[in-house]
């Protein structure tokens, strides 16, 4: 099985490693950044660096580049590969990509995939073996892909011990704006606010154990990856961000009014997130 992975960062690199090490596939790698490709080769994440014009014979092509490059890349790859090559992306936004490939003659070769896994680190050196294990994988618009393609993708992600769920692209982008993209913005702005105020960084370091360290973790994430996500999923993110700012403002007003009952009640209701995250439904 010959797989070409385009984009050898945290996600593409981690998948390449799994395909090679766990599944025994031959993995070719492409990265616009030559140094990244060489690092991936040196780290044993891929078997060989190839050019775009060498992808035609791959059984599977994986697109793991920032989401702004995905639509054009998907079209170019589908134009280039052989008739039965399976192509899937791993991006965090789906609607625009989905519309772009909609009428391509090889649309059924394509599967829109989003494995919910990652860390705040980036680049091939951030690739982790077992990154995907026991996490959730999302396949979007599966009815637009061939059964063969979906089955192959499921085989791969099942082998990585992921649990795959299905939804359409529009639903995916809406939910992920709230549950993932908003978390990143809240964390980035928390980091910014604290950095602006605390000119003496020693104070931040000393007090980081008080909850800050975990809430600000995502502020270490890659701007190259996140800038295009925020633009691509603009409408959903703006809705979530407006609601978040409204909630913060309402909470601020409770503090101004010293409304103990209101503060208590708001936090108590939000504590329900405990049960949600342990999978217990009310």
Q: Which is nearer to a copy of itself, 83 or 282 (CB)?
A: 282
Closest of 5, 38, 20, 11 to residue 121, by C-alpha: 11
Structure tokens given for 95: 């609607």
Q: Which is nearer to a copy of itself, 53 or 249 (CB)?
A: 249
Smallest gap from Cβ 134 to a copy of itself, in A, equals: 9
Instruction: Based on the shown chain and the rule CB under 8 A, indicate whether residue 32 belongs to the binding site for a copy of itself.
Output: no
One residue of 34, 83, 199, 274 binding a copy of itself per CB under 8 A: 274
Contact range with a copy of itself by CB under 8 A, out of 5-13, 22-30, 33-41, 202-210: 202-210
One residue of 151, 158, 161, 193 binding a copy of itself per CB under 8 A: 193
Taking the C-alpha atoms of residue 44 and residue 46, their distance in angstroms, rounded to an integer, is: 6
Instruction: Based on the shown chain and the rule CB under 8 A, indicate whether residue 124 belongs to the binding site for a copy of itself.
Output: no
One residue of 42, 148, 159, 179 binding a copy of itself per CB under 8 A: 179
Q: Which is nearer to a copy of itself, 41 or 116 (CB)?
A: 116
The Cα-based distances of 80 to 27, 56, 57, 274 in angstroms read 18, 6, 9, 48
Contact range with a copy of itself by CB under 8 A, out of 12-20, 29-37, 103-111, 230-238: 230-238
**HEC assignment per residue over the chain:** CEEEEECCCHHHHHHHHHHHHCCCCEEEEECCCHHHHHHHHHCCCCCEECCHHHCCCCCEEEECCCCCCHHHHHHHHHHHCCCCCEEEECCCCCHHHHHHHCCCCCHHHEEEEEECCCCCCCCHHHCCCCCCCCCEEEEECHHHCCHHHHHHHHHHHHHCCCEEEEECHHHHHHHHHHHHHHHHHHHHHHHHHHHHHCCCHHHHHHHHHHCHHHHCHHHHCCHHHHHHHHHHCHHHHHHHHHHHHHHHHHHHHHHHCCCHHHHHHHHHHHCCHHHHHCCCCC
Contact range with a copy of itself by CB under 8 A, out of 23-31, 43-51, 96-104, 115-123: 115-123
Site for a copy of itself in 234-273 (CB under 8 A): 234, 237-238, 240-245, 247-249, 251-252, 255-256, 258, 260, 263-264, 266-273
Q: Which is nearer to a copy of itself, 42 or 208 (CB)?
A: 208
Q: Which is nearer to a copy of itself, 3 or 194 (CB)?
A: 194
Q: Which is nearer to a copy of itself, 39 or 184 (CB)?
A: 184
Instruction: Based on the shown chain and the rule CB under 8 A, indicate whether residue 196 belongs to the binding site for a copy of itself.
Output: yes
One residue of 3, 117, 149, 153 binding a copy of itself per CB under 8 A: 117
Instruction: Based on the shown chain and the rule CB under 8 A, indicate whether residue 143 belongs to the binding site for a copy of itself.
Output: no
Smallest gap from Cβ 276 to a copy of itself, in A, equals: 5
Taking the C-alpha atoms of residue 134 and residue 3, their distance in angstroms, rounded to an integer, is: 23
Q: Which is nearer to a copy of itself, 79 or 213 (CB)?
A: 213
């Amino acid at each position: 099985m010959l797989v070409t992975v385009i984009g050898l960062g945290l996600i593409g690199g981690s998948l390449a490693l799994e395909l090679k090490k766990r599944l025994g596939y031959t993995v070719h790698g492409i990265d616009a950044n030559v140094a990244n490709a060489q690092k991936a080769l040196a780290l044993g994440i891929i078997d060989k660096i190839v050019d775009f014009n060498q992808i035609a014979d791959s059984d599977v092509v994986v697109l793991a580049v920032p989401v702004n490059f995905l639509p054009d890349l998907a079209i170019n790859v589908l134009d280039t590969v052989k008739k039965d090559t399976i192509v899937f992306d791993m991006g965090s936004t789906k609607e625009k990509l989905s519309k772009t490939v909609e009428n391509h003659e090889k649309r059924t070769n394509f599967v829109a995939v989003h494995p919910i896994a990652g860390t705040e680190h980036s680049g091939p050196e951030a690739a982790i073996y077992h990154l995907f294990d026991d996490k959730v994988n999302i396949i979007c618009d599966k009815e637009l892909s061939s059964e063969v393609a979906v089955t192959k993708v499921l085989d791969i992600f099942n082998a990585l011990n992921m649990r795959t769920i299905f939804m359409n692209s529009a639903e995916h982008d809406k939910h992920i704006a709230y549950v993932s993209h908003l978390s990143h913005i809240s964390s980035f702005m928390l980091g910014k606010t604290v950095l602006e105020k605390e000119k003496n960084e020693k104070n931040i370091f000393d007090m980081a154990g008080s909850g800050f360290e975990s809430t600000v973790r995502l502020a270490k994430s890659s701007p190259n990856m996140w800038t295009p996500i925020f633009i691509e999923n603009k409408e959903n993110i703006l809705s979530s961000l407006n609601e978040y700012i409204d909630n913060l403002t309402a909470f601020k007003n409770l503090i101004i009014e010293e409304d103990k009952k209101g503060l208590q009640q708001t936090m108590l209701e939000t504590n329900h997130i405990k049960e949600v995250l342990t999978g217990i439904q009310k």
